[in-house]
Structure 1
Amino acid sequence: MSLQDEPAGTLQRSELAPVPPPAAPLPGARRLKRTDAIAEAVKDWIVLNALRPGDRLPQEKALMAQFKASKGTIREALKALETQGLIRSRTGPGGGAFVAEQSGEHAMALLANYFFFRQPSIRDIYALRKRLEPDLAASLAGQLGEDDFRRLEATMRLYDHPPATTGEEYQQRLAELEFHGILAELCPNPALGFICRFLQTLLANLTICRRIYDIPNPELRDAGLSYQIRLLRALKSGDAETASAVMHEHMCAAERYMESCEAEFRSGFLKL
């Protein structure tokens, strides 16, 4: 059975290139297991044909013929792709393997596992935020629409007033981070946006940061709002240089505050 006979979502099979054979390893590179090599070849095929979520992969028999592999080997390769969240399987009539919708949150959760036993410090995270988020802000100058600004302003309204409880204080601090998360989501450079959002997620999940976010600090909230108002003004006017400068100033001020609180916790002035 030819791969050309297998349906793939709404695409016509005649439009699809065949699944390539597994790539030969580079000299000195670790040789992949057979199942891993097949999984990589299928991933290459998805990219080569610009498949979208919901498009169907070639059926099992076609993959067995293409790779001259057993049913068990093909199923193990597909299972690896499913574990990575790249495909989903469906049984019954019309079933098979389909390209899955990719979730940024899922990808960040998987990546965060790498740092589970080697958590970065506040300084580590801000060393990158100070470099990357000014570039992110500059890339958005003059690029956002009215709906984007309404979304950012609605987020700011969550923390433009004193909190009534400690719980609200914490939620306001998360909302401040979400403001930056929205900017990351809107970034025209998806790689830059993803990295900035991931750094924000790491920061929010640090144990020391959760303790810091519980500390009432109206001056910090007012300062953050001031930076964000200036930033929105620069973004609306298309002033990339000012947007970058405001964001860098904001990141430096936030780093100083977070590190001073961390030092007080470590010295015992604040209770962990």
Structure 2
Amino acid sequence: MSAGLGNGEQGPGGVPVLGQRVLRPRQQVEDALRGAVLGGTLKTGDQLPAEAELARQFSVSRATIREALSALQSQGLIRRVPGARGGSFVQAVDHHSLGKVVQESMHNLLQLGSLNFAEVAMVRQYLEVPSVVLAAANRSEEDLAELREIVQQQKAASVDDPVVPELDAQFHTAIARMSGNRALASLVYALHRESEPVSYLELSPTVGRKTVSQHQRIVKAIADQDEAAAEAAITEHLKYLRQHIKAATEKALKD
């Protein structure tokens, strides 16, 4: 089970290093299957062979196969469908799946109490500033039309409309996508979905109008391709949200 000899490295005294780390069977199976997914041997949507067949091919137990598949599932590379017609299927491996995997992980950590809302929200806010600056530099006319349409829907919605949080998420994640940096867009998507600020606000018509007004200033700065104005507008907006979320949280604790 060694990974091979003769890698060209030199040990003490110039003696060639012959040994390499010996992998456990589960790790070897996991590495082989991961390589098949990332290398393109297995395509998005492909079904992996059944556990019994994989166990035969690798000459390991089914328990070892299950452990390897569980690891790949936690990494977002495969999804496992129960039932007679189920099995293990290759997930899409792109920046969209990255955002979903990060979101699921953040959701679990928030649910367990390992992280709190304030920590996640702070990281999201740090990422949204460079996102809007890049969006101002890279936006297209189609991007502007999308943002303006979202803001129009926000203006028409009442503060108690359940669509309000979703529109807010669309606005911020669209800007991150316009940045042109897919890794950045994936992270903003995940963090915003799990720390959606509007959900934590005590919304009122005044807060709603102020938020929409701030969104309009952000869109104008992006349209003008004014990076400095875009940064200033998003910073003002995020500061406003932080203040109102803090006030709402303090009020809830007192009540």
State if a TM-score over 0.5 links the two structures: yes
Change (3 A) 1:74 1:121: closer
Q: Secondary structure at the match of 2:44?
A: coil
Counterpart Cα distance in 1 of 2:78 and 2:29: 14
Change (3 A) 1:143 1:105: same
Give the aligned CA root-mean-square deviation in angstroms: 3.7
Which structure 2 residues correspond to residues 202-221 of structure 1 after superposition, within 5 A? Answer: 202-204=194-196, 210=199, 212-213=200-201, 215-221=202-208
Q: What letter corresponds to residue 239 of structure 2 in structure 1?
A: C
Superposition TM-score, scaled by structure 1 size:
0.66
Q: Which residue of 2 aligns with 1:7?
A: none
Find the partner of 2:242 among 252, 255, 266: 255
Q: What letter corresponds to residue 178 of structure 1 in structure 2?
A: Q
Structure 2 alignment gaps of length 5 or more? 5-21
Which structure 2 residues correspond to residues 52-67 of structure 1 after superposition, within 5 A? Answer: 52-54=43-45, 67=58
- 1:109 and 2:96 correspond: no
Counterpart Cα distance in 2 of 1:84 and 1:125: 21
Superposition TM-score, scaled by structure 2 size:
0.70
Q: Which residue of 2 aligns with 1:195?
A: 187
Change (3 A) 1:220 1:33: farther
Find the partner of 1:182 among 174, 182, 187: 174
Q: Indicate if the aligned counterparts of 1:35 and 1:73 stay in contact, CA closer than 8 A.
A: yes
Runs (4+) of structure 1 exceeding 6 A deviation are 56-63
Q: Which residue of 2 aligns with 1:46?
A: 37
Change (3 A) 1:75 1:233: same
Find the partner of 1:129 among 124, 144, 158: 124
Q: What letter corresponds to residue 35 of structure 2 in structure 1?
A: D
Counterpart Cα distance in 2 of 1:257 and 1:62: 55
Task: Compare 243-252 and 106-115 and name the one that shifted more.
Answer: 106-115
Counterpart Cα distance in 1 of 2:194 and 2:114: 9
What displacement does 1:129 show?
A: 3.2
Task: Compare 250-259 and 138-147 and name the one that shifted more.
Answer: 138-147
- 1:225 and 2:212 correspond: yes
Q: What letter corresponds to residue 194 of structure 1 in structure 2?
A: S
Counterpart Cα distance in 2 of 1:33 and 1:115: 33
Counterpart Cα distance in 2 of 1:234 and 1:64: 61
Q: How many residues align?
A: 228
Q: Which residue of 1 aligns with 2:12?
A: none
Q: Over residues 46-105 of structure 1, what are the superposed CA-to-partner deviations in whole Å (9 max), with x where a residue is unaligned?
A: 32448652457689868855x554566345523543465423579xxxx99653225444
What displacement does 1:153 show?
A: 1.8
Counterpart Cα distance in 2 of 1:89 and 1:258: 38
Change (3 A) 1:126 1:107: closer
Give identity over the alignment, percent. Answer: 23
Q: Over residues 122-168 of structure 1, what are the superposed CA-to-partner deviations in whole Å (9 max), with x where a residue is unaligned?
A: 543443233211111112123222322222222212221461xx641
Q: Secondary structure at the match of 1:111?
A: helix
Change (3 A) 1:62 1:130: closer
Q: Which residue of 2 aligns with 1:146?
A: 141
Change (3 A) 1:152 1:35: same
Q: Secondary structure at the match of 2:112?
A: coil
Q: Indicate if the aligned counterparts of 1:54 and 1:99 stay in contact, CA closer than 8 A.
A: yes
Structure 1 alignment gaps of length 5 or more? 1-20, 23-30
Change (3 A) 1:126 1:73: closer
Change (3 A) 1:80 1:219: same
